[in-house]
């Protein structure tokens, strides 16, 4: 088995976190509760794009040699593109979910009795979990961008 460098490991973690974020977001939109059917524009595209960027960086680390300058440039761009896509996804997800979270958790007593149903609270918890997972994936991508991709030259 080939030895993986730090960039490959962090890219793999970023890819897994992006896929987890995609699953959580999908369940948040399709599940019962407050956010059912409330999609955020381009969220699927952003999360899938970030996961693909991380997977390609992992592939570059695992299969290609670092001596090729084109490989270095492309892998460097992918290491930047993944976290940028996740940062945009996080900003859009926060913008699309913050009003509902405030409404569910911080309404006055009369409204809270109607709004804080188990379905709505579950939907809010899934929204928070998806926000956290997108944030973790973005941080993993930012950390991974500090490591060089590719095999070391002999």
Kindly report, residue by residue over 54-65, the tens digit of the pLDDT.
998 888 877 776
Q: How far apart are CA 115 and CA 75, in angstroms?
A: 47
Strand ranges (E), the chain: none
pTM: 0.86
Regions of the chain short of the pLDDT cut 70: 1-4, 65-67, 148-154
CB 22 within 8 A of CB 46: no
The residues spanned by each domain of the chain are 6-144
Average pLDDT, rounded, for the chain: 86
The confidence score (pLDDT) of residue 152 equals 53
For the segment 122-142, what is each residue's pLDDT rounded down to a tens digit? 999 999 999 999 999 999 888
Please report the pLDDT score of residue 154 as a whole number: 47
C-alpha distances out from residue 84 to 98, 136, 153, Å: 21, 13, 29
């Amino acid at each position: 088995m080939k030895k993986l460098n730090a960039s490959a490991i962090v890219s793999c973690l970023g890819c897994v976190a992006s896929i987890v974020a995609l699953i959580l977001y999908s369940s948040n939109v399709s599940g019962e509760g407050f956010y059912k059917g409330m999609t955020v524009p381009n969220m699927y595209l952003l999360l899938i794009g970030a996961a693909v960027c991380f997977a390609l960086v992992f592939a570059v680390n695992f299969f290609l040699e670092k001596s090729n300058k084109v490989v270095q440039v492309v892998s460097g761009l992918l290491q930047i593109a993944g976290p940028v896509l996740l940062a945009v996804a996080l900003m859009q997800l926060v913008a699309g979910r913050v009003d509902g979270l405030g409404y569910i958790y911080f309404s006055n007593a009369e409204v809270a009795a109607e709004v804080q149903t188990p379905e709505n609270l579950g939907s809010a918890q899934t929204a928070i979990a998806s926000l956290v997972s997108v944030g973790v994936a973005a941080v993993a991508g930012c950390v991974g961008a500090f490591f060089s991709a590719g095999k070391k030259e002999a």
